[in-house]
Structure 1
Amino acid sequence: MTVLFWLSAAALVYSLCGYGLILLALSRLRPARARPALSPPPTKVSFVVAAYNEAPVIADKVHNTLALNTGGAEVEMIVVSDGSDDGTADIVRAIGDPRVTVLEPGRVGKAQALARGIERCTGEIVVFSDANAILEQNSLVAMLRHYADPAVGGVCGQITVGGKSGGIGFAESLFWRYDQQLKHAESRLGGAVSAQGSVYSLRRALVRPPAAGCTDDFVISVGAVAQGYRLVFEPEASTVETVTEHVGNEMRRRIRSSERGWRSLLHNASLMNPRRHGWYAWQLISHKLVRRLNPLFLILLFLSNMVLMKHGGFYLILGMCQIAFYGVAVAGLVWPRLRRSKLVALPAFFTFAHLALLIGIVRCLVGQESVLWTPSRDAG
């Protein structure tokens, strides 16, 4: 039992902070990559947005996209309404801009919606972005400059999470700040591990439609790595998104994301071969595989600690701390007002995020598959 306790503790320490510290140290030892020789910039860029019932935000998204600094590149935008019944497609058509195409394939799921959009792309670079992601003015130019390097297959943007202070949004914003630091370091070493759906881009020739039941941003972006290209992280290609404060909605989103993410990782297991993919394989294992196993490590740590508490001393103190931690977390999840305190918000977020991760993986292992999706948004 003692061995089980220390093995699970070591795995958690590595996953939560050890990997990050090692990664940051190694990335600083590596010389900065030389800027590639100038080459003709892409002449046309295709934006693809899959939308389901995004009437409150879709007009802002279209106007924001068409107003971006393009560096002289032509822009087309393809909005795929995945069976929306709130007038999303009509709102886009009413804008009346010839650069925007609206597709309505019915309720087919996000993967198929993106596949329909990809088929219509005519640009050299394809940019994928969420319907509620409002991009900074120079985001497109910041991404396009990386394509002067022929080894770069895709560019991942940065997401900043906004939310109510002391609630889920506060806790998740801390997580994303840490995650963005990891992406920056990974980009210097073996390349960014994968993209996040808010904003990322790929060379059109490398884009492969995602399979149903998989996480589209992960599968599409790592497809560039599988074809021998690098993903890079560009913090100037940035957007701000707001996280819902409704625990039930966020839990459902995370369970679905976990289930699809685990399936996507298994389908791309060959990328975790260090002999073929070097530093990238280590980064993918640590950032995606080990992190997804954290719920198992947490359960083993808790159970073994409960057994070892009878020995007193260190094990007794740590066991009491674990019980108090999860007690505070449960209280915060049951009574939302308590989450206004950061001391409650952080344990609550940590616990429900790992619970969702566990449920999602179990769903995947028993064969449940999520194809359709509903965005999690706070009312108003």
Structure 2
Amino acid sequence: MALLLSLFIFLVFFAYFGYPLSLYLISRFKVREVRRAPCTPRVTFIITAFNEEKRIRQKLENTLALTYAPELIQIIVASDGSTDRTNEIVREFAANGVRLLEVKDRGGKENAQKEAVAAADGDILVFSDVATVIDPESLHHMMANFADPCIGCVSSVDRVVGRDGKPCGEGAYVRYEMWLRDLEGRVNSLVGLSGSFFAARKEVCRDFSPDMQSDFRTLLNSMRFGLRGIGDNRVIGHYQDVADSNREFDRKVRTVLRGLTVFFKNLEFLNVFRYGLFSYQFFCHKLLRWLVPFFLAAAFLINAALAPSHPLYLFLFLLQCAFYFLGVAGWKSPMLARRLTVRIPLYFLTVNFAIAVAWLRYLRGNRLVMWTPSER
């Protein structure tokens, strides 16, 4: 039991810290540079929307303010069965070159993206959520990466702040993810893109499926083509944390559920003889991370059984209890949740509980298609 406790604790720490440390050590000996250069390909900018009457105008104004030659950018809003004033507002921007693509029957985000890809005439496709605010120069910076023929897709860097303008639990977690992605891109390739803002060569944006994440699948398609995905610290997507924590929890469950669907339909990437280092990244960043809730539960139960036998086990058990207590306290008390020392445990536990729920739904055969954007 002591060995099992040590193993599960090790796996939790390796998933979050050991894996990044291994990438850092690799980066001391191997770095894959990106040969960036000024590059202005024909771009199709795709915005997927469902009932976004409150935010779509701001999003389109933000997109039109991007410093990219108007004749080289096609803007498509794929409205996924919207029933409010979203379509009416988008039509107001027709004179500015914005095209409304009405998907009459609501089929989910990826289905709407698939329809937009079929209508796109750009060599590079850019995907962005309505809630994401983009800096004016970001598109130029993003395109510079495609001057390197080895790059198949480019991800933005996410920046999240609380509604009070201060760092939040989600923001701290996102910064960790961005740090990890930076390490991955430095040594080889990202394993996932920011679904809120990413770009890819048109040839890798194919076979979109309503039940599979477009960002994850696009990255894997790039690897099949012998290309790779990278992030660019000059390309930033800004957004607030969510206003409704319950809907955010559902979003996390949906994201992991779709991630599991993509992962288990692409097990070929675990073939280290074909994909080398990426197989290790694919396993650690995805599957190992998604197994953490089970490692945590096993470690807690074993530690509880061992606690009476030795002061060290008792200390570890109390430490776990204190961490979980802070998370639960933050869930019960919004005032406590404002403190960073509570926000981080709360967000960590929320993420892992969402992963556990996603596993349960996946094993039951649930393949969620519909989506409702989180209110921010």
TM-score (norm 1): 0.94
Q: 1:340 aligns with which of 338, 341, 346?
A: 338
The number of aligned residues is 375
Task: Give the aligned partner of residue 20 of structure 2.
Answer: 20
The secondary structure found in structure 1 opposite 2:366 is coil
The secondary structure found in structure 2 opposite 1:81 is strand
Distance 2:41 2:258 in 1: 35
Deviation (angstroms), 1:53? 1.2
Task: Give the aligned partner of residue 187 of structure 2.
Answer: 189
Report 1:200-215 matches (<5 A).
Answer: 200-215=198-213
Letter in 1 for 2:22: I
Gaps of 5+ in 1: none
The secondary structure found in structure 1 opposite 2:84 is coil
Check 1:327–1:5 CA distance in 2 against 1; reply closer, same or farther (3 A cut): same
Residue-by-residue CA offset, 1:275-328 (whole Å, 9 max, x unaligned): 111112211211111111110110111011001112121100111121222122
Residue-by-residue CA offset, 1:245-296 (whole Å, 9 max, x unaligned): 4321111111111111111111122122221111122112111111111101
The secondary structure found in structure 2 opposite 1:10 is helix
Letter in 1 for 2:10: A
Task: Give the aligned partner of residue 240 of structure 1.
Answer: 238
Q: 1:259 aligns with which of 257, 260, 271?
A: 257
Contact residue 156 and residue 231 of structure 1 kept, 8 A = yes
Q: 1:180 aligns with which of 159, 165, 178?
A: 178
Distance 2:157 2:350 in 1: 24
Distance 1:34 1:244 in 2: 34
Deviation (angstroms), 1:98? 4.8
Residue-by-residue CA offset, 1:128-151 (whole Å, 9 max, x unaligned): 111111111111111111111111
Task: Give the aligned partner of residue 292 of structure 1.
Answer: 290
Deviation (angstroms), 1:56? 1.4
Q: Which moved more, 1:325-334 or 1:25-34?
A: 25-34
Report 1:52-131 matches (<5 A).
Answer: 52-70=50-68, 74-106=72-104, 107-131=106-130
Distance 1:125 1:157 in 2: 15
Distance 1:164 1:63 in 2: 22
Distance 1:174 1:320 in 2: 25
C-alpha RMSD over aligned residues:
1.9
Q: Which moved more, 1:353-362 or 1:18-27?
A: 18-27
Letter in 2 for 1:345: R
The secondary structure found in structure 1 opposite 2:92 is helix
Distance 1:34 1:43 in 2: 18
1:276 and 2:280 are equivalent in the alignment:
no
Task: Give the aligned partner of residue 133 of structure 1.
Answer: 132
Check 1:166–1:139 CA distance in 2 against 1; reply closer, same or farther (3 A cut): closer
Gaps of 5+ in 2: none
Distance 2:34 2:361 in 1: 45
Letter in 1 for 2:226: G
Contact residue 31 and residue 187 of structure 2 kept, 8 A = no
Contact residue 114 and residue 209 of structure 1 kept, 8 A = no
Residue-by-residue CA offset, 1:202-248 (whole Å, 9 max, x unaligned): 11122114212222221123211122111121111111111114321
Task: Give the aligned partner of residue 375 of structure 1.
Answer: 373
Task: Give the aligned partner of residue 307 of structure 1.
Answer: 305
Residue-by-residue CA offset, 1:56-83 (whole Å, 9 max, x unaligned): 1111111221221226861001101111
Distance 1:166 1:124 in 2: 37
Distance 1:377 1:28 in 2: 42
Letter in 2 for 1:14: F
Distance 1:301 1:165 in 2: 36
Contact residue 43 and residue 73 of structure 1 kept, 8 A = no
TM-score (norm 2): 0.95
Distance 2:242 2:41 in 1: 38
